[in-house]
Structure 1
Amino acid sequence: MKKWLLTAAVAASFGSVADEGMWQPYQLPAMADELKAKGLEISADSISKLTEFPMNAVISLGGCTASFVSPKGLVVTNHHCAYGSIQYNSTADNNLLKDGFLAKSFKDELPAAPGSRVYVTSEVTNVTDNVKFGLESKTGNDFYKGIEKQEKALVAECEKEAGYRCNVYSFHGGLEYYLIKQMEIRDVRLVYNPAGSVGKYGGDIDNWMWPRHTGDFSFYRAYVNKDGQPADYSEDNVPYEPKSFLKVSAKGVQNGDFVMVTGYPGRTNRYRTSAEVENQFEWNYPYSKELRETIIDIIKETAPAGSEDRIKYESTLAGLANYAKNFTSMIEFYGKSTMLQDRQAREQALADWIAANSERSAKYGKTLAELTDLVKQGEAHQERKLITGYMGYSSMMSSAERLYRLAHERELPDMQREPGYQDRDMKRFTSGLERIDKRFAPKVEKAIVFDLLKRYAKLAKSERLAAMDKVFGINGKANDAAILARLDEMYAKTSLNDKATRLGWMKKSVADFKASNDPFIQYAVAMFDTDMAAEKKAKERAGKLMKVRPQYMDAIIAYNREQGKPVYADANSSLRVSVGHVKGYSPEDGLIAEPFTRLEGILAKDTSVDPFDAPKKQLELIKQKQYGDYYMKEIGSVPVNFLSTLDTTGGNSGSPTLNGRAELVGLLFDGVYESIIGDWGYDPQTNRSIQVDSRYMLWVMKYLDNADNLLEEMEIVR
């Protein structure tokens, strides 16, 4: 698919459905007139240039988005995006999650959790021809390996420049490939987070809901060596000086104002087939929701609130609860929607369009049937795959498996190793092993694994794995006691719960693993051949999908172009831009949701009991109407959160919400309950993103936490 085709499609369709779409920066110049009409005051060309303001101020944390807000590498993101680092630095006696943290000087800043990164995107290159070259006749595993080999070569060449991390991203299901180059800043430090009763006000109850009153923001700082290059943590490092940073608006936005968000949205599925939709909503989401809710209950039962064990699992709990509620909404809205019928109708319309033209029939005639067949193949053994996938919550099992895989991969030349096990991956690999100490409690993990193994043991023998059955003594009979006894033995005898021991295994040979008496190492050795056979089979299917999915997307893009519909790629964690307006919505008949919430809403909700237990100082400030410079006349108070029509998803968390001058007016942190389904389709009536208002962020910093040093460091505009 040539770039001109997508650009033309954008120009033809943007005006009618402008708020839908997570756009690649290169597409934005084609939207210039419409963007200007909507309220963009800076040049649309500037948003397409990653090395210029404002795009070079927007950064990735590898799962969340953030932005530079000072010339000294100060980074603002969501509280929940910094949660892992806040948790990592917390203990029962010094609970930063509960009490908050503020570094009054550079020397007081705390190292973020191991593996924390700041990624500054510097270059995006279309490498479609390079990736696919010479692979036209390949299929299945050969095609998969061919793509992988050429991606690794491109990455290796790109990473010859020290301090950069490069990755090849697939767009439109493999129709296009882009090489993305990012500066990788490895010394990241925690600077400031408000108390949990501000940063997580409303907790899981308010998650995905409106009205919202959450101060979901925190600050990091990026550090480099004295030469300005990325380096590991050192006291000699200095704050990174970005090429540009965002000014923070104390004026904020009004109802109806233009806003845009730049960030790194994770995954959307707007072009998935009806077969994929049906399986995901009618099987995967319900089962995944139940598993997550069970694990949440297990953690809470085995690790009392406030205990060291609970603190270790607070970040895990937050992630589990977030997606359990997400899946609940997905299931609920699917059940009362016509999504499946709409997808089926879309596919039929596409099939009719293809059949109406002999050239299209020759090109796409078999595509949908082939894709549907491959999708169905992927549903085989899915219950077992889901259960064993959730065993990834076991640090002992997953670290043993990864370490043994590393021993095998180290026997190969670096360029022949599996991605994730190359020399370029070892710092990340090491950080993952180091983090375990602060996120692992044997009693908790054992209870989680026990529940999952009981589920696994109930599967038919044809669905189970002989190697796993042997490790845990599973024979299809009621043997819960035997499974628990085996787990008791494994957790009592393992030495992988010691960090130095774990790290030491990174240099061990395959023979060393086979000779080990550690029960989790023995588990990894016993499962290896089975795991590799399953991986080979999965790659064979993936390789076929990588040939068929692009054909399907090519047909959809051509069809959508004729229909005047928007053409944008599904989100894939690469840098995107969404545009929209500040706007409320009507979630159901008779209800109208206003676009702003106020400080007084915190008072109204507060019960003095978690999660509605705002700091007493904050409640007094609100009662005294201490609004300061952040008063919004239209609502008679300081705005806390606001709604927008921005098209966003997970990964956009922490994204700067900008006004037409590219000033920061908020931080995106959530969506409303009705918009969760937006991962699968955009509804202009109910799709709303939730932002923490910049005025509330500044108010908390000034009046509640006295973060004057940070306020002075930022450039605040009115």
Structure 2
Amino acid sequence: MKKLLVSVALAAAFGAHADEGMWQPYQLPAMADELKAKGLEIDAKSISKLTEFPMNAVISLGGCTASFVSPKGLVVTNHHCAYGSIQYNSTPEKNLLKDGFLAKNYGEELPATPGSRIYVTEAVTNVTGEVKAGLENKVGNDFYQGIEAKEKQLVAQCEADDGYRCQVYSFHGGLEYYLVKQLEIRDVRLVYNPAASVGKYGGDIDNWMWPRHTGDFSFYRGYVSKDGKPADFSKDNVPYEPKSFLKVSAKGVSDGDFVMVAGYPGRTNRYRTANEVENQFEWAYPEGKMLRERFIEIIKETAPEGSDERIKYESLIAGLANYAKNFTSMIEFYGKSTMLDDRKAREAALTAWINKDSKRQAQYGQTMAELDKLIKESQEHQARDIILGYIGYTTMLPTARSLYRLANEKQLDDMAREPGYQDRDMTRFKSGLERIDRRYAPSVDKAVVLDLLSRYAKLPSEERIPELDKAFGIGKKFDAAKLSKVLDKMYAKTELGDKATRLAWMDKSVADFKASKDPFIQFAVAMYDTDMAQEKKEKELYGKLMKVRPQYMDAIIAYNKELGKPVYADANSSLRVTVGHVKGYSPQDGLVAVPFTRLEGIVAKDTGEDPFDAPKKQLELIKQKQYGDYYVKSIDSVPVNFLSTLDTTGGNSGSPTLNGRAELVGLLFDGVYESIIGDWGYDTDTNRSIQVDSRYMLWVMKYLDHADNLLAEMEIVH
């Protein structure tokens, strides 16, 4: 019934709001006529079928999107999505980040970061009834645990088929649940990445900005065993042969053309309450921006540029900087917008609609008040929670805690364990421990922990945690020098920096941990009971929210249906489709941004210094007007990046941008500065996604990096 309700509301309003919305594939057939009118040439039903072209060519990397572009498992994604693997294989002597990398044959391809995966979605099943059955009268922690138990049971049944990874996703705040089944390719290899002076041209300065001239693309390849099954890395493995792959267009797109994206957007918040909006923009974003920027400063102060320590943290710096700028834009545009007033007005209108009908009053009358009460409760300790949360970005403290948690969880039956500590999670858990070698430097880790604990120590006494204070010797009067000495001693004595030692702890008992003299292990043991008590309290609150928020979303869906407005679920990292057009925009009064940038823009920006230091060979090719097969008369050059009205967010990075025939015409990699706030609400005038043009990608591959072997492997449409 809910699916029908959503589809009816969607079909009624799609024509007026088509560019807004991250649609679940099953919703697309209801849009068929409108999609065709906008420029879709393939059957809309095919986009809803995950085992057919083009959807089975679109894949997840577990944080980014990618797509198959050859019959031999060649995968294209963003440079910044492959950044961790490029960094992992880089050293000061052989810096693939700086110089680029191209494997001329299978044997030269490099293993990606440990734990890298390619996920091919094969089925999405509505399991709402199974998940909620028998839990109608449960509340709080009992409800939370009940939902979790049902999800684990469904996942276990799904993963009985070897080589699959399954997960239950909640939609509309828990109104609906879907089981997603994905083939999990475990042998992932780095094939090609352009130099950072192409793939990250403009760096943090140009991040979220337009005009843009970034070659944000790289290639992986998926490998499987000789019998075609997912397998761990082996020299005997062979390239995976996907059921379909995308053709790459050398013709590209023009201003006004239809485009669509299939991908895995991370999180949006378009149905959050006014109280949540106010707290997020007026407290959480400013605080998070400050902490991220300080984190970056500490890394740069502690690890000299070009050093092995700095290389280890380049990927983290990029991620921190990306969201620091994201938060800056959020704060700026919130200050200029009427978002808070709009949310308050929306809630007032919803309340009035509920109160007009006695049946609606009985169903939803207390929902808003209950939701607001629980939201305020969740914010009570946020000043402490955000500091302790950022400690999660460090290495030694979270590693020790996770290892000790594993030892405790392994005393339970597998199905009774916390998600993340079940047998199905052990390969991923181990890979996380292995990755530490190329992502950890004691000097940096200690400096960040010292800064965060110093902030924690200044909190009011009632916000402090006695066990944490005791572990680090933090007294009523804070002594920074004393804390620094405590940390110096901990980092000097720990053996968790050694990979073999870390991995060995995966098999040790609770008794072994309690007997350990390692200072970080001792910390984890000392904090365990407190951590578990806090987790139980959080689950109690979250269990209550899991009951109330679906009621709120049910009311919004019913209300929007009456208004004829589109209804789509907030992004939650599951597969979605968005549609739009190639289109510029006006960022401010008196300025109009055209939808394409050109090769000549690279030369105009170039300073010879990072991040505007294009390769000399590239600059020379541009000056010689070496456009080759990719020249576009309307712009008198080769297009580099282009804008579209596609409704996207983080997680969509690497998504294939497709034309009406489902040919790859670009890779989505960013949004304009003005559209960052789009996570909270889509604006037709300012929401613009940024794509690297397929013609620029092919131009770089052919004329700059001579990736002829890959060009020959792909099917290129002229």
TM > 0.5 fold call: yes
What whole-Å deviation, never above 9, does each CA across 1:368-409 have from its counterpart, x for those lacking one?
000000000000111111001100122110110000000000
Distance across 2 between alignment mates of 1:394 and 1:643: 36
State how far apart, in whole Å, the 1-side matches of 2:548 and 2:460 are. Answer: 33
Find the counterpart in structure 1 of residue 304 from structure 2: 304
Give per-residue Cα distances to partners, 1:507-554, cap 9 Å, x unaligned: 111111111000000110111111111100000011001100000000
Q: Which residue of 1 aligns with 2:367?
A: 367
Q: 1:330 aligns to what SS in structure 2?
A: helix
| 1:526-605 equivalent positions in 2, closer than 5 A | 526-605=526-605
Query: Equivalent residue of 1:651, what SS?
Result: coil
- Residue 504 of structure 1 is matched in structure 2 by 504
Match of 2:153 in 1: 153
Within a 5 Å distance, the mapping from 1:323-362 to structure 2 comes to 323-362=323-362
In 1: Cα distance, 2:552 partner to 2:460 partner: 36
The DSSP-based 3-state class of the residue aligned with 1:177 is strand
Q: Whole-Å Cα distance in 2 between the matches of residues 476 and 637 of structure 1?
A: 66
Paired residue for 1:387? Answer: 387
Aligned equivalent of 1:219: 219
Asked if 2 retains the 8 angstrom alpha-carbon contact of 1:263 and 1:577, the reply is yes
Superposed CA deviations along residues 547-586 of structure 1, whole A, max 9, x for unmatched, are: 0000000000000111111100000000000000000000
Q: CA deviation at 1:630?
A: 0.3
2:417 partner letter: R
Does 2:140 match 1:111? no
Q: Which amino acid in structure 1 is aligned with residue 414 of structure 2?
A: D
- Superposed, which structure 2 residues align to 1:289-300 within 5 Å? 289-300=289-300
Partner of 2:270: 270
Contact residue 458 and residue 476 of structure 1 kept, 8 A: no
Which residue does the alignment assign to 1:712?
Answer: 712
Gapped regions of structure 2 (runs ≥ 5): none
Structure 1 distance, partners of 2:127, 2:631, is 50
**Does the 8 A contact of 1:128 with 1:178 survive in 2?**
yes
Distance 2:80 2:527 in 1: 35
Q: 1:48 maps to which residue?
A: 48
Amino acid at match of 1:9: A
Equivalent residues in 2 for 1:112-511, closer than 5 Å:
112-511=112-511
Deviation at residue 461 of structure 1 after TM alignment: 1.1
Secondary structure at the residue paired with 2:334? helix
For residue 692 of structure 1, give the secondary structure of its aligned residue in structure 2.
strand
1:647 paired residue number = 647
Give the distance between the partners of 1:695 and 1:633, measured in 2 at CA: 13
For 1:392 and 1:546, the matched residues in 2 are separated by 25
Q: Percent identity?
A: 79
Amino acid paired to 1:614: A
How far apart, CA to CA, are the structure 2 residues paired with 1:527 and 1:458? Answer: 20
User: Is the 8 Å Cα contact of residues 57 and 242 (structure 1) preserved in structure 2?
Assistant: yes
**Alignment match, 1:609:** 609
* SS of equivalent to 1:219: strand
Which letter does structure 1 place at the counterpart of 2:376?
K
How many residues align structurally?
A: 718
**Counterparts of 1:653 and 1:544, CA distance in 2:** 33
Question: Structure 1: how far apart are the matches of 2:191 and 2:275?
Answer: 47
Distance 2:175 2:589 in 1: 42
Match of 1:30 in 2: 30
The one-letter code of the counterpart of 1:74 is: L
What's the CA shift for 1:476? 2.6
Report if aligned partners of 1:367, 1:552 keep a CA contact under 8 Å in 2. Answer: yes
Matched residue type, 2:324: A
Give the Cα–Cα distance (whole angstroms) in 2 for the partners of residues 359 and 622 of structure 1: 68
Structure-2-length-normalised TM-score: 1.00
Q: Give the SS at the match of 2:685.
A: coil
In 1, the alpha carbon distance for the partners of 2:532 and 2:347 equals 36
2:107 match: secondary structure: helix
For residues 451 and 547 of structure 1, the distance between their equivalents in structure 2, rounded to whole angstroms, comes to 38
Counterpart code for 2:587: P
SS at match of 1:212: coil
| Cross-structure match for 1:61 | 61
SS in 1 for 2:184: strand
1-structure distance, mates of 2:464, 2:529? 15
After superposition, give the CA deviation of every residue in 1:207-227 in whole Å (9 maximum; x if it has no partner): 000000000000000000000
Asked whether the 8 Å contact 1:35–1:44 carries over to 2, the reply is yes
CA displacement at 1:336 relative to structure 2:
1.0
SS of structure 1 residue aligned to 2:153: helix
The two structures have a TM-score, normalised by structure 1, of 1.00
Cα distance in structure 2, aligned partners of 1:489 and 1:459:
25
For 1:4 and 1:458, how far apart are their aligned partners in 2? 53
Q: 1:475 deviation in Å?
A: 1.2
Q: Offset at 1:149?
A: 0.3
SS of aligned partner of 1:181: strand
Structure 1 distance, partners of 2:348, 2:164, is 46
Give the superposition deviation at 1:478: 3.0
Letter in 2 for 1:69: V
1:64 deviation in Å? Answer: 0.1
Q: Could you tell me how far apart the structure 2 residues matched to 1:662 and 1:520 are?
A: 52
Superposed displacement of residue 254, structure 1:
0.1
Q: Post-superposition shift, 1:3?
A: 1.0
State the shift of 1:440 in Å.
Answer: 0.3
Distance, in Å, in 2 between the alignment partners of 1:3 and 1:213 is: 42
**What code does the residue aligned with 1:529 have?**
D
Letter in 2 for 1:593: A
Provide, for residues 599-622 of structure 1, a one-character-per-residue CA deviation record: whole Å limited to 9, x for no partner: 000000000000000000000000
Q: Which letter maps to 1:322?
A: N
Give me the whole-angstrom Cα distance separating, in 2, the residues matched to 1:384 and 1:483. Answer: 18
Would the aligned equivalents of 1:57 and 1:68 in 2 still touch at CA under 8 Å? yes
Q: Hey, what does 2:661 align to over in structure 1?
A: 661
The alpha carbon displacement at 1:2 in A equals 2.0
Q: Which amino acid aligns with 2:81?
A: C
Counterpart contact for 1:298–1:447, Cα < 8 Å: yes
Name the amino acid aligned to 1:544.
K
Residue 640 of structure 2: SS of its match in structure 1?
strand
* Contact 1:54/1:246, CA 8 A, preserved across alignment: yes
Cα distance in structure 2, aligned partners of 1:541 and 1:608: 54
Distance 1:566 1:464 in 2: 45
CA–CA distance in structure 1, aligned partners of residues 304 and 486 of structure 2: 25
**Runs in 1 of length 4+ with deviation above 2 angstroms?**
none
Letter in 2 for 1:522: Q
* Counterpart AA for 2:208: W
Report SS of the residue matched to 1:555: helix
Q: Distance in 2 between matches of 1:481 and 1:361?
A: 60
> Does the aligned pair in 2 maintain the 1:642–1:691 contact within 8 Å?
yes
CA contact (8 A) 1:596 1:641 kept: yes
RMSD: 0.5
Do the aligned partners of 1:460 and 1:476 also contact (CA within 8 Å) in 2? no
Cα contact 1:393–1:445 (8 A) shared by 2 = no
1:650-698 per-position Cα deviation (integer Å, ceiling 9, x unaligned): 0000000000000000000000000000000000000000000000000
Amino acid in structure 2 at the alignment position of 1:182: Q
Deviation at 1:161, TM superposition (A): 0.2
**CA deviation vs aligned residue, 1:28-71 (integer Å, no higher than 9, x gap):** 00000000000000000000000000000000000000000000
Task: Output the CA distance in 2 between the equivalents of 1:477 and 1:100.
Answer: 51
SS in 1 for 2:547: helix
